[in-house]
Amino acid sequence: CTLVAFCCLQLVAALERQIFDFLGYQWAPILANFLHIMAVILGIFGTVQYRSRYLILYAAWLVLWVGWNAFIICFYLEVGQLSQDRDFIMTFNTSLHRSWWMENGPGCLVTPVLNSRLALEDHHVISVTGCLLDYPYIEALSSALQIFLALFGFVFACYVSKVFLEEEDSFDFIGGFDSYGYQAPQKTSHLQLQPLYTSG
């Protein structure tokens, strides 16, 4: 029950993130969120149906999910050679869109810059000021929450799949495979086979 509740919490967090990534046209996170939602549903199904293989797949996906979210944190905080001004990885280099939080963050005031030489065709340049929390930090916090949930989900999934595997190993088939061991019926020598004739 705890793992199902935790998976539901992950599902809500992933759906919330998916909505804001759709609003910001962030295609790479949209694809990753979709895969994550499918993996969480698989984890819920594996828990409810006592399928340890599904839980193992779910746990393996969570390892990849932690790596993806660590990359997002590094990308938005511009760790190393990553640059938001140069790299449009999140949109697969198909557009110049940024995070939805860039213009719609808490307390942000958006002012269009008129007659800017930086504007490309059918694009406009804006100035964003007064934000209580800049959008890279909002994106990094969102990814940190995803990592936190994924780590707990991983631990729960490993534990529950271990319990399911132990139950499968100790299952008593038709009352014959118990801890005393299975003994086949002894072959008796006085049993004689007779041919069977049918009239037809």
Q: Does residue 115 sit within a domain?
A: no
Average model confidence (pLDDT) across the chain: 79
- Which residue range(s) make up the domain with 13? 1-94+134-171
Instruction: Look at the chain and report how many structural domains it folds into.
Output: 1
Please tell me whether the overall predicted TM-score, pTM, comes out greater than 0.85 for this model: no
Other beta carbons less than 10 A from residue 69's beta carbon: 24
Quick check: is 3 in a domain? yes
pLDDT digits (tens, 9 = 90+) for 47-106: 888 888 899 999 999 999 999 999 999 988 888 777 766 656 676 666 656 777 777 778
- pLDDT given for residue 163 in this prediction: 86
Q: At what angle do helices 27-48 and 135-169 cross, to 10 degrees?
A: 30
